[in-house]
Amino acid sequence: MRVPPIKIGAGYMMPLKIINFKQMKRNLTITLFLIALITPGLSCLKPFKQDNSGNQNSQFQSAAGNYQNFCAGCHGDNLEKFAAKEWMDEEGSSSAFQSIKYGIEDIGMPAFQKTFSDEEIKELAEYVKKGVPEDKALLKPAVTPGGVVESEVQKFVVDTVVSGLNVPWGLAFLPDGDLLISEREGKLYRFSDGKLSEPIEGLPPIKASGQGGLLDLSLHPDYETNGWIYLSYSALTAESPKPLGNTAVMRAKLQGNRLVDQQVLFKGIPDNDRSHHFGCKLAFDGKGHLFFGIGDRGQHFDFPQNLDNHNGKIHRINEDGSIPADNPFVNQEGAMASIYSYGHRNPQGTVVHPVTGEIWVTEHGPRGGDELNLVEPGLNYGWPVISYGINYDGTVLTELTEKEGMEQPVFYWTPSIAPCGMTFVTGERYKNWSNNLLVGSLRFKYLERVVLNGHSVMHREKLLEDIGRVRNVVVSPDGYIYVAIETPGKIVRLVPIE
């Protein structure tokens, strides 16, 4: 079992010598929880605040404070996610009240009836319905167009390449320089000569709701010879009484503005009606294998620790969808043969190290405990038995942060940054970032540069702060870094300056 970093706020220490590590980490965890109660911003726990009588209250006294503390991580600091909700146009706030109090299980909305009083829920619902002033609701650009950004070791200019999108998810560059873009709502575009094509036809049935839809894109490593494009998506398998589905992987070829020769290579089981935790970033390892992750599908106590289903796992298949003969559970009765590792919550960043060939994954924790994991065959990464996070309503998810037989993350983020999309920096354009990881943050709207020393995180830097919810980051064949941002959706390129 790897020795984990000791996490302190936004920093870390790597222990050189550890005596009675379990007790030390437990004491440290308790200390951090106490610090978080009196230090705003260090934790997702509810901070204390003095009221007019001098008494300490165990939660924020304002709806705005409660929103930022409990809701902004999923719904946006400025209520961006509520703009299209039908109940925003209803009279009163009863629909919002019901959603907050009782939750909406199939979209992953937790219930807060044990967290807030009815009066607090009413105030929060009214706050959501009212929204924020127009001058604060719009995302402001994080950088001046054409202006030079001076990071710690690299200067660059941010160039907006594509705009007018919603939630761009997958990016794949064709040999002629055109860019394929998947939109989560279930549309696929080709960006060529500065223009988006009409939606490409020939997509499979897609369950485009909540976090589901058309997800990642990847070209076969030998695309110029065989023309295979790989797509991950939330497959729609039944429409009534509620839409059912799970993550799937398909490959097809592009002919004009249509996908042809479609082949479904993988379909996760079992289906359910949940609309969250689908995974699913695609990564080829250069040895004929395709890696991808599927989340727990919102049922974390049912799936991740059991091998008789695909959910909460990292999978490895051959490029044609067949199962590698050396997969770790291929000969275990009752186990899904594609499973490479298990005990994962919602992995949305999967990459192959350009030098070592190792598989690295980022995954969403609950409130706190987002993880960077080095994935190895057959290992158990612990979810939901161990975690550095808590439930969304502030209650304790698990008392354990480690357990024998379960792997520790290489690094974890508390509070959650909501990591989505990840890549290693390769090529010669960004020499000072060579083999660094770039990780997108949905929650805090920046790109994080992570410097590794072997299997340890040695340094981190925030880039493009307040750029918007970063959905994906890739390195193009000609060596430029492209970043996909959502709501409003656009794709930018980082142009380095010597």
Q: How far apart are CA 474 and CA 220, in angstroms?
A: 16
H or E stretch at 31 = helix 21-38
Distance CA 442, CA 438 (A): 13
- Smallest Cα–Cα separation from 342: which of 370, 378, 302? 378
Closest CA to 288 of 320, 331, 252, 336: 320
Largest Cα–Cα distance of the chain, in whole Å? 74
Whether the CA torsion 61, 66, 68, 70 is positive or negative: it is positive
Closest CA relative to residue 347, chosen from 390, 304, 386, 379: 304
Q: Give per-residue burial for 291-326: e unless 16+ CB within 10 Å, then b.
A: bbbbbbbbbbeebbbebebbbbbbbbbbbebebbee
What H or E segment, with its residue span, contains residue 498?
A: none
User: Is 277 tagged catalytic?
Assistant: yes
**CA–CA separation, 151 vs 143, rounded Å?**
12
260 and 212 in contact (C-beta within 8 Å)? Answer: no
3-state secondary structure 368-384: CCEEEEEECCCCECCCC
Q: What is the β-pairing status of strands 214-219 and 347-352? A: unpaired
Which entry of 75, 220, 276, 277 is annotated as an active-site residue? 277
- Which are the contacts of 78, defined by CB distance < 8 A and separation ≥ 6? 132, 136, 137, 138, 139
Mapping DSSP to helix (H, G, I), strand (E, B) and coil, where does residue 496 land? strand
Catalytic residues: 277
